Amino acid sequence: MSTKLNILVPVKRVIDFAIKPRINKTGTGIDKTGVKFSINPFCDIAVEEAVRIKEAHKALVNKIHAVSIGPAKAQDILRSSLAKGVDSATLIDAKELDIEPLSVAKILKKVVEDKQSNLVILGKQAIDDDSNHTGQMLAGLLNWPQVTNAAKVTVNTSGDAVDSITVVREVDGGEETLEAKLPLIITTDLRLNEPRFASLPNIMKAKKKPLEKLALEKDFKDIDVSPRLNVLKVEEPTQRQAGVRVNSVDELIAKLKELKAL
């Protein structure tokens, strides 16, 4: 039996990376009204990588399916992923709930089983909570191998089948290379690729691609998504005060000596 890829790409809608988040008046969360939202940049890289794999190995990829868990508006990022080359998508409407990574991983496990995915490519972290948990948790729940912080992904073929996948990953002191058989979880790092922009004709075409809509409370009611962590407070970090301006290298060195930094 030949192995073809069924790729799943989970994506998250987050406050745009260029926007500085504002804390709400009660100090319990982030004010989300009137703020620009975008696809999490690492998720965009995951979409791009899946599409590149399909472009390079057309015969080996059955399907790229994207999924997002979030408010109804998260369908925007699914539509743009479809326009970039994803084949089909699922929106799991969670209304405005903030869902912790453990619950997200449980929901994704069910999606993996439903879609019979054998390769999940997802962002290493979302730039809102910065957790960096979901991929590893999903791998743990499925008992699949994981390669986090991918910098390069190569699909190794044998005849008309996928043999293995080689991934170069970023670690503290440089890089390491791992090789895995399917099924596999990959989380993406910044340098893996540069995501494309969707062209207008592709955006039009994407409107015809299938986008399934599910409701978290109805279609995943057996999964308990109640939070394990109570957020007691959110606050701004202690602000650094701007220091002094100096006008020359000599003044700079004198100031550093005064601060006992040298």
Partner 1 sequence: GSTLAFIEASNGQISSASLSALTAAKQLGNPIIALTFNEGVADSLNKIEGLSKIVTFSSPEFEKNAPEVISPILSSLIGDSKLDISHFIIGSNATGKNILPRVGALLDVQPISDVVAIESDKVFKKPIYAGNVIQTVETTDPKTLLSVRPSSFAPIDTTATANYEIEQQATPELNKLNIKFVSENLTSSKTPDLATSKIIVSGGRALKSKENFDNLIYPLAAKINAAVGATRAAVDAGFVENSLQIGQTGKIVSPELYFSLGISGAIQHLAGMKDSKVIVAINKDEESPIFNVADVGLVGDLFEIIPELTEKL
Residues 225-244 that bind partner 1 (CB under 8 A): 227-237, 240, 242-244
CB 182 within 8 A of CB 165: yes
Q: Which of 57, 62, 145, 202 binds partner 1 (CB under 8 A)?
A: 145
Instruction: Give 218 or 241: the residue with its C-beta nearer to partner 1.
Output: 241
Minimum distance between the CB of residue 20 and partner 1, rounded to whole angstroms?
A: 6
Residue with token string 């008046």: 25
Nearest to 11 by CA among 113, 127, 95: 127
Amino acid identity of residue 107, one-letter, is I
What SS3 class is residue 159?
coil
Q: Which two tokens stand for residue 69?
A: 């868990």
Instruction: Give 82 or 108: the residue with its C-beta nearer to partner 1.
Output: 108
- State how far Cα 73 lies from the chain centre: 17
Minimum distance between the CB of residue 40 and partner 1, rounded to whole angstroms?
A: 12
Q: Is 160 in the site for partner 1 (CB under 8 A)?
A: no
Q: Is 157 in the site for partner 1 (CB under 8 A)?
A: no
Q: Which of 68, 87, 170, 216 binds partner 1 (CB under 8 A)?
A: 170
Element (H, E) at 43: helix 41-56
The span of 32-40, 66-74, 153-161, 223-231 binding partner 1 (CB under 8 A) equals 223-231
Q: Is 204 in the site for partner 1 (CB under 8 A)?
A: no
Element (H, E) at 82: helix 75-84
Contact set for partner 1, span 34-73 (CB under 8 A): none
How many beta carbons lie within 10 A of that of residue 7, not counting itself? 26
Q: Is 20 in the site for partner 1 (CB under 8 A)?
A: yes
